[in-house]
Structure 1
Amino acid sequence: MPALLARRPWVAVLVVYLLSRVLSTGLLGSLFALATSQGWSFASDRADPTFFTFSGSWDASFYKTIAEQGYPTTLPKDDDGYVQSNPWAFLPVFPGIVKAIVAVTGLPFYTAGVLVATVFGFGAALMLYRLLALRVPRERALFAVAVFCVGPMGYLLQCAYAESAFLFFFFTALWCLMTRRYLLLIPFAVVAAFTRPGMLAFALTLGVHLVVRWRESRIRGGRLPVRDTLQIVFAGAVVTVAGLAWPWVATGVTGERDAYLDTELSWWVGYVGHQAFRPLTPWFTMAATWLSWPGVLLVLLALAAGAFWLTRRSTRELGHEIVGFTTSYWLYLVAVFLPQQSLFRLMMPVAPLLGSRLFSETRRRRVVVLVVAVVLQAVALIPLWFIGYP
């Protein structure tokens, strides 16, 4: 593998990815066969239970609705006038790509969705390797990719979900930022912004990058080139607009000012009841609702642990772009997201942290990390398939 990694790193990444797909497919298939033979109920029921519809469970049904029917012009509401769950919570890039594949091949939606997600999963793994290889030795970068692919959420790289597509576009945009290709990152970041929410954090990362480059230039006794300054500011402005655009689109189509926000809040009802949205409060609201004051203390401890991790030397060695995005993204999640089982899925964009030597400093540690990652993926499938989907 070291010789192959030196000559053709993309082949080494492909080998790792294919092996991880064998693992994930084996786990998914075994659990599906067992559940089917025993007549167990899935968290997301399917009228036609096959392995591909099984791999297209959870919110993938909304992507199917978008691909086949588009977005509703009228929001569904309950008897009290509250907006109910509907497709406006999901962005159009992934269902649009799958719809095109269905039109060309004639495949069922879920089959095409699994194939599209699996291909993008390899693209995400490759770009994760490429951006980490800019900061850490190749072997460590490849190990990080392996942990990413076999870890607890690794099976999502082949399920009919937008995750792998988002990660490919985002990792590519982050690689462009790290190599100072500021204009090239724009199309990837914009497409990512219409694939899954979260790119406002990347816009903030561009601001952090600008400040760091300006400071480094001053320390060296020089000045940041005007061209670079303008390109960073322009890219940041475009990404910000893209990150804010979807709520405007939802409002324009439905005619309701808070169409997107009310749709997102409809998923909160089962956890905390009907709530008005207040930034930076969802985690505390969830904790207080279920655990009272010990829950609030737990949130504060989690935030302190995150801050400690980001300030460790082993983390800072990854570069300010990765640390800056992770900080921005965690702030984004704390500001707008109600923490529940989907939190583990939404943490996948911070996978570059796996490049830290903390996970791979010794051979024994690498073995332990890989074994734990595989075991956690097997364990994660059970509650997410049968209790609550991510």
Structure 2
Amino acid sequence: MTDLATERRARVQAAIVQEFLRKAAERGDPYAKILFIPDDPYPLYEEVRARGKLYKSEAGIWTTASHGVANRVLRDKRFGVRRADGTKAPEFMPFDNSMLGLDPPDHTRLRKLTVPSLNPRRLAHWRPHVERFTDELIDDMLAGRNEVNFMRAFAQQLPLRVIGDLVGIPPHHRRTFFRLSRRMAYLLDGVATVELAGDVQAAIREMTVMFHDIIEEHRADPRDDLISELLPAVDDGRLSMEEMVPLCMFLPLAGTETTVNLIGNALKMLLEHPEQREMLTDDPSLAPAVIRETLRHETPVQQYRRIAHTDIELEGQLITAGGELAICAGGANRDPEVYPDPERFDITRDPGPDNLSFSAGIHFCLGAALARMEAEIALAAITTRLPGIRRVGPVRRRGSFIIRGMLQFPVALR
């Protein structure tokens, strides 16, 4: 079949699926409504919860917004990110050989190789770097126009600088990495037209070539970064080059996107709650509480999916092998059975059980501690150095039912 015929068939199939979901949403199916990316998904999570702790959407996917059920599933090794035979579900986990898209034993092996570079104890080395990058970005903003798009001027830049150094992306490749990662970010959105899917694949091919070049640079000149630390594993056979390249590509992509939106969401919540912003101004040590509550209240990653590897009985329902389950983390983090008055943003609340913003179980985010550290340092510095910062226009959100974040966040600095 020609590429043109394949593309035409994909368009037709996408249109059929879209029309089916539209009718399901019109009939009141809350998960189908979520897939159409409402500006405020949280009332829909309440509709999901009203269907029970676990219900099957007309989209064919089991769905939960229960913190307890979500936490159990994420920790249950009978669920995975691939089918039991190792294949991916269609449009489900487009990370190929990356650790993000693998189940044990390959996931276990790759995670073990990567953990030392992201160990929380080792992150103390990165704190002064994050503080320096933060101050430099604030200096750059103050030296320019008074009004900026905070996402582009700061939130996108800080994680890119940090992860670039940590992974080992040389400065002369950073601009290309940023440009390609913006194109690849649609992988995380869960929504893609045929045109976007084609552009994402083209960006992956370009970035693959770039990382092969970067890895060869590190082989000739090893440094203190993730790539240099992984090369011995390639040499002794614990890691193949076909695994290392996707790992180096997608780990920084996923980690950067989470941190970008955590920083943006945290500042937005503080500007909308001036009394709590004042509390942080008076006591910068509250920054961890701000980040923890932002993760709960405005979860950057709103949804995870898992596939049953065997028949599983859960909450009185039978999920057959191969069945997909959508975990609405944004809803689970506002589950009233776990968090009293969950709709209220309150940095003084009792933390309660861990929120699910970084997943749980074997796929718990490796970069969670780094993301928290970056966001805490950023918020404390912004509150101290930019006391007059304020929103000056409407925000524009990402078109995603998975990532909760902004593309445009206009602020005045003084």
TM score, norm. by length of structure 2: 0.23
TM score, norm. by length of structure 1: 0.24
* Greater relative contact order (CA < 8 Å, ≥ 6 in sequence): 2
